[in-house]
Amino acid sequence: MKSLIPLISAILLLAALLAGCNSHKEEAQSLQPQIDSLRLLLNKAYKPGMGELMSNIQLHHSKLWFAGENQSWQLAEYNESLIRSAFNKIQLYHGNQPEAKAAFMIFPAMDSLSKAIAEKNKGAFERSYTLMTLTCNNCHMVTSHPFNVITIPKTPPVTDQDFKTAMEQKITNK
């Protein structure tokens, strides 16, 4: 009888394990429609197109120039961060496209620009901005978009934003 107790215990344990496995299988099967529905929603979710993201970059590229030229360093830092964010979204949403793979070339120029902004160095800003602009054009060449030529802007992209620093605004308003 004593020799049967371990055998019976083992059989009961095995039965409990099998019952547990079946309940997990049934649970997973009952969740499958929800999983499929969420996958469908995710696939239909809005993802900005490459053109939208590039237009966003172009706007902030221009704003960045005027912020730096006016030594409005907080505004320059903000626009630089928005450009960087758009490039990160390109990687996220379009990472398999050749344009997204080539876009990594912008980050050394962006790092140089960030440093110039942090140092509040207008000369370094202008050089880094020029390098970033040239890098944009090189990327356009590499990705067969040579018709997209980016330049240093001559006029502000919007007329309803003042690119001067807050201190300069106080002086000119007096």
pLDDT at position 27 is: 73
pLDDT at position 17 is: 62
pLDDT tens digits, one per residue of 47-62? 999 999 999 999 999 9
Residue linked to tokens 């049967």 = 4
Low-confidence ranges of the chain (pLDDT < 50): none
In terms of phi and psi (left: phi > 0; alpha: psi -120 to 50; beta: otherwise), the region of 164 is: beta
pLDDT tens digits, one per residue of 12-21? 666 666 666 5
Q: What is the CA radius of gyration of the chain?
A: 29
pLDDT at position 169 is: 59
- CA quadruple 43, 92, 135, 70: dihedral positive or negative? positive
Q: CATH for 50-173, among 1.10.20, 1.20.58, 1.20.120, 3.30.70? A: 1.20.120
Domain extents for the chain? 1-45, 50-173
Q: Is the pTM of this model over 0.85?
A: no
**95-112: buried (b, 16+ CB within 10 Å) or exposed (e) per residue?**
eeeebbebbeebeebbeb
